[in-house]
Chain A
Amino acid sequence: MSIVYFEDVEEGDELPGLDFFLSKDQVRQYARTAGMYVPRFTDDEGARAEGLPGMIAPGVMSMGLLARMISDWNAAAQIKRIGTTFRSPVLPDRDIHLRGAVTQKDETDHTAECDIWIENDDGERWVIGTATLALPSKA
Chain B
Amino acid sequence: MALEFDRSIIGQIFDETAFPPVTKEEILAFTTALGEKNPLYTDEAAAAKGPYGGLVAPPTFVTKLRAQKFTPEHLPKFGKMGFDGGRDLEIHAPVRPGDALKMASTIHDIYEKTGRTGSMYFIVIRNEITNQKGEKVAVIDHRIMQR
- Is chain B in direct contact with chain A in the complex (CB below 8 A)? yes
Residue ranges of A at the interface with B (Cβ–Cβ < 8 Å) = 1, 26, 29-30, 32-36, 50-51, 58-61, 63-65, 67-68, 71-72, 75-76, 78-86, 129
Residue of A nearest to B34 (CB): A64
Which residues of A lie under 8 Å from residue B84 when comparing CB positions? 58-60, 86
A82-B89, A83-B87, A83-B89 given; A60·B34 CB < 8 A: no
Dominant SS at the A interface? mixed
Tell me, yes or no, whether B35 is within 8 Å of chain A by CB: yes
Question: What would be 30 A-B contacts, judged by CB atoms less than 8 Å apart?
Answer: A1-B37, A26-B33, A33-B64, A35-B66, A36-B64, A58-B84, A60-B87, A63-B89, A64-B33, A64-B60, A65-B34, A65-B35, A67-B34, A68-B35, A68-B36, A68-B58, A71-B36, A71-B37, A71-B58, A72-B38, A78-B91, A79-B91, A81-B91, A82-B60, A82-B88, A82-B91, A83-B89, A86-B83, A86-B84, A86-B86
Q: How far is the CA of A129 from the CA of B89 in the complex (A)?
A: 11
B123 within 8 A of A: no
Q: Is the CB of B89 within 8 A of A81?
A: yes
Given known contacts A33-B30, A83-B89, A63 and B60 CB-to-CB distance under 8 angstroms: yes
Contact A29 B64 (CB under 8 A): no
CA of A8 to CA of B109, assembled, Å: 39
- The secondary structure that dominates the B interface is mixed
In whole angstroms, what is the CA distance A63 to B39 when docked? 20
- Nearest-neighbour CB distance to chain B for A89, whole angstroms, equals 8
Q: Does B98 contact A (CB under 8 A)?
A: no
Residues of B near A68 (CB, < 8 A) are 34-36, 58
Residues of B within 8 A of A (CB): 26, 29-30, 32-41, 51, 58-60, 63-64, 66, 81, 83-91, 143
* Chain A residue with the shortest CB-CB distance to B36: A68
For the A-B complex with A63-B87, A65-B35 known, give 13 more contacts whose Cβ atoms are closer than 8 Å.
A1-B39, A30-B33, A33-B29, A34-B30, A34-B33, A60-B64, A67-B59, A71-B38, A72-B38, A75-B39, A80-B90, A85-B143, A86-B85
Interface centre among A61, A68, A75 (most CB of B within 10 A): A68
Q: Kindly list chain B residues whose C-beta atoms are within 8 Å of the C-beta of A59.
A: 84, 86-87
Distance between Cα atoms of A82 and B141 in the complex (Å): 11
CA gap between A84 and B33 in the complex, in Å? 19
Q: Which of B30, B60, B86 contacts A85 (CB 8 A)?
A: B86
Q: Which residues of B contact A64 (CB under 8 A)?
A: 30, 33-34, 58, 60, 63
Q: Is the CB of B87 within 8 A of A84?
A: yes
Judge whether A35 and B87 touch: CB under 8 Å: no
4 shortest interchain CB distances as A-B pairs: A83-B88, A59-B84, A34-B64, A85-B86
Q: Which residues does chain A contribute within 8 Å of B41, judged by CB atoms?
A: 71
